Amino acid sequence: MVMGPTHAMSGAGAGLAIGAFLPVEWGGATSPTEVLVFAGVTAGAALLPDLDTPQSTLARSFGLASRALAHITERVSKTIYDLTMTRKDARISNGHRTATHTLWFALLAGAGTAALVSAFGKNGAIGVLFFMLGLAIRGLAPNWAKKQDWIYVTGLSLALAVAVWFALPASVGSAALGAAVTAGVAMHLLGDVITKRGVPLLGGVVSIGGERWWNFRLPGPLRIRAGAGMDRMLAAACTGVTVVLAYCVVRAPHLIGAPWVAGTFH
């Protein structure tokens, strides 16, 4: 897989783009601060598919709770694979890179987030922010997070979520947060498509060549190895794009036609 920091940084860039360009009537941002919130949610969601393995960055984010959730997700994913596989699909020993690495999961995660926020309002939003910001911290600051006990990461994500709750009442739009989560998961899938193994984007539903879990991936010479030079270059590129977008959002929103700029927000 592409490493966690690469996933998180690509998700942050996607979140900045969503926050800046999503129409306000669809729940888009009305201030630079809200855009940064979307970016944090999307950065966290970009780690979400790896909930299917206890060895992932995500599984370490909230101590025993996240590890237990990862074990459960891995078993559920393997069960889904076993129930839907065909004779041409390979047998697997665990559920990693199966059910949570599909387009169906990206859509379901976004829809579930939107439904949660729609049903519970700010309480639902604070829960989403707490979880996603905790993942984002792990992904965007891996070296710092690795030196800290999981409880510090949990405490920081809770503090940030509560601050957002009080400071940004307009940022609880269900459509916007749902879109941010779906985009984050999609960025993770895109990152894994370029690796040697690829991912089963249409897994469990669409059969390709007799396989329901056929892996989509680039041609051999274009595939990268996690943690190798190309992965680091990709992380650097995602960082560069994210920094430029962040600058435009905070300092030069007129360059991207942001809706909160005078004369463009109605």
Return the pLDDT at 88.
96
Q: What is the pLDDT of residue 1?
A: 47
Q: Is residue 263 part of a domain?
A: no
Integer angstrom CA distances of residue 139 from 68, 214, 236: 19, 28, 14
From residue 25, alpha-carbon distances to 123, 188, 266 in Å are: 22, 27, 10
Q: Distance between CA 164 and CA 156 in Å, rounded? A: 12
pTM (2 decimals)? 0.88
Query: Tell me, what's the pLDDT at 20?
Result: 80
Boundaries of domain holding 66:
4-256
Inside any domain, residue 210: yes
Stretches where the chain sits below pLDDT 50 are 1, 263, 266
How many domains does the chain fold into? 1
pLDDT at 189: 95
φ/ψ of 224, rounded to 5, equals -115, 160
